[in-house]
Amino acid sequence: MNACKETQALLFEKVDGRVDAELRAKMDAHLAICPHCKQAFAVWTGALPRLRSLSSDEISAVSLRRMENEVLRQLHGTAAPRSRRTLWFALAAGLVLAAGVGMLSLRSATPQPFARIQTLWGRVTLSGVAMTKGAAMGPGGLLEIAAEGEAAFLVGRAADVRLVGPGRLAFDGTTRNPRLRLESGRVLVQVAHREADETFAVTTAHGRVEVRGTRFVVGYATHGSYVHVEEGEVAAFRPGVAAPFAVKAGDTFMFEPEVPVGSAPTPAIAPPPPAEPRLCSKANCGEEGARARKAMRAGNPTRAIEVVDGALGRGAECPPTSRCLDELGYLRAEALRQAGRLDAAVTAYKSLSRAGATRAMRQNALYAAAQIERRLGRPEDARQSLERAYAAYPNGALGEEAMAALLDLLDATGADARPTADRYLARYPQGIVAARARRILSRTSRPR
């Protein structure tokens, strides 16, 4: 009885990966021999990701009753509770679930932090104060990283930023309209699509970059600073020039320092091209990946994310395009997906579609992102991801699946699927959805 009580009191922490190794081993041993606690743990494992994906509207008494009944049903099927202890636990579980929704509501009413640290290694300080993982950062702060260090953080609702040391980055603006000022070093930025009244800007000593949704790098070269766009398009502004310069995917734009009148300008030096992909020299990458996969199989994606984040930090000596680090990044995206953090998973998948990544990795990541985007009700984003997944590797393992999924998406949303059906049949006349493609083409006559 005492073992059951102790285990059930810590189920929430275990699901979240917040118990130490010794206690986790003790709980695992009890769960292996107690079917009741094992079933309760399974219910928690399935319920928490769904709970965190729910909207944060205020819960009603009817919803609370339904929640309690659902917990009882999952614990005992349609049978009545077997004991007073069982009934107490089921009701407590329902109340805790309700409290969780209430906490979500309170969080939504609380102003969102300007930025929050996701991962870091080396010495990272904010206005002189040492930072830790999960720390919140407000406007007006100055993030500084030593020569051997790096920090990844989420700005506002949907902007992933990574500052590579040595570097200094100042924060300003609001969560809807962040403004980052890069004083040294370089930042890698991925911004999800923003609303019409939202902006995202990065400035250097020589100019400003504004985006609506894209992936790019801003940094300092030997002379001046630069922006390199990996995906999408950014607007680059030079001081004293009203009209912006459009910088498209694959292009690098140099912000040259102002040259005094009468002196000869110094030619700008472009940033070096990205290194070719190679196997990472750190042998522990494979071991960390195995640990992460083990945690995911055990239903503990939070622990898997922690393992991968630690490995990515320690693997900083590997080149950014290392296949080893890409594999770890893919594991991280899978863990985010398993944890129910779908928007973060989409961002993580798409970050793997970059110059230097293998074609197979880019295709797999984009295909996975499209599946989630469709599930989240974003068909246009899913369409673009599927198009890119196919284009990344037409002869790849998921080439046909990407085009088949695109055909299904277009047909299901009422868009004109005939051009895609034509493309599919031309490439895969006996493919997995060839019959459906022919039905789409036969519904109406083609325009002349």
Question: How many Cα atoms sit within 13 Å of 56 on the Cβ side?
Answer: 11
Asked whether residue 218 carries a pLDDT value surpassing 80, the answer given is yes
Find the helix or strand (DSSP H, E) in which 284 lies: helix 284-297
Asked whether residue 82 carries a pLDDT value surpassing 70, the answer given is no
- The Cα–Cα gap between 364 and 115 comes to 30
Q: What pLDDT sits at residue 203?
A: 92
Give pLDDT tens digits for 242-281: 788 888 877 788 887 654 545 444 444 444 444 333 334 4
Residue 3 vs residue 109, higher pLDDT: 3
Q: What pLDDT sits at residue 373?
A: 92
Residue 333 vs residue 147, higher pLDDT: 333
Q: Which residue has the tokens 């609380």?
A: 110
Beta pairing class for 115-121 and 150-155: antiparallel
The pLDDT mean for the chain works out to 75
Asked whether residue 366 carries a pLDDT value surpassing 90, the answer given is yes
Give yes or no for a contact between 322 and 313, defined as CB atoms under 8 angstroms apart: no
Which whole number is the average pLDDT over 33-53?
Answer: 75
Beta pairing class for 200-203 and 178-191: parallel
pLDDT over 90 percentage in the chain: 11
Asked whether residue 437 carries a pLDDT value surpassing 70, the answer given is yes
If you average pLDDT over each of 69-73, 182-186, 322-326, 384-388, which comes out highest? 384-388
Q: What pLDDT sits at residue 65?
A: 52
Which whole number is the average pLDDT over 198-216?
Answer: 84
Cα 311 to chain center, whole Å?
Answer: 17
Q: Where does CATH 1.25.40.10 sit in the chain?
A: 284-443
- Three-state DSSP class for residue 60: coil
Residue 382: pLDDT band with limits 50, 70, 90: very high
Residue 224: pLDDT band with limits 50, 70, 90: confident
Burial of residue 342, with CB atoms counted within 10 A of its CB: 0-12 exposed, 13-18 middle, 19 or more buried:
middle
Distances (CA, A) of 10 to 3, 94, 103, 135, 296: 11, 16, 19, 25, 19
Question: How many Cα atoms sit within 13 Å of 405 on the Cβ side?
Answer: 25
In the chain the first and final C-alpha atoms are separated, in Å, by: 77
359-375 and 342-351 are packed helices; what angle lies between their axes, rounded to 10 degrees? 160
Q: What pLDDT sits at residue 268?
A: 43
DSSP string, 244-277: PEEEETT-EEEEPPPPPTTSPPPPP-PPPPPPPP
Q: What pLDDT sits at residue 410?
A: 92
Q: Where does CATH 2.60.120.1440 sit in the chain?
A: 115-255
pLDDT over 70 percentage in the chain: 72
Q: What pLDDT sits at residue 309?
A: 79
Distances (CA, A) of 114 to 139, 168, 218, 325, 364: 6, 17, 20, 28, 32
Give the max Cα distance, the chain: 91
Asked whether residue 44 carries a pLDDT value surpassing 90, the answer given is no
Residue 406: pLDDT band with limits 50, 70, 90: very high
Give pLDDT tens digits for 306-357: 888 777 665 544 544 456 777 888 888 999 999 998 988 898 888 888 766 7
Give pLDDT tens digits for 27-41: 888 888 888 888 888
Q: What pLDDT sits at residue 385?
A: 92
Q: What pLDDT sits at residue 20?
A: 75
Burial of residue 1, with CB atoms counted within 10 A of its CB: 0-12 exposed, 13-18 middle, 19 or more buried:
exposed
* CATH number of this structure's domain 284-443: 1.25.40.10
Residue among 211, 220, 218 nearest 257 (CA): 220
Give yes or no for a contact between 134 and 140, defined as CB atoms under 8 angstroms apart: no
- The Cα–Cα gap between 265 and 258 comes to 9
Q: Is the pTM of this model over 0.85?
A: no
Q: Which CATH class is domain 115-255?
A: mainly beta
- The Cα–Cα gap between 104 and 52 comes to 8
Count other C-beta atoms under 10 Å from residue 169's C-beta: 26
Q: What pLDDT sits at residue 362?
A: 87
- The Cα–Cα gap between 249 and 216 comes to 9
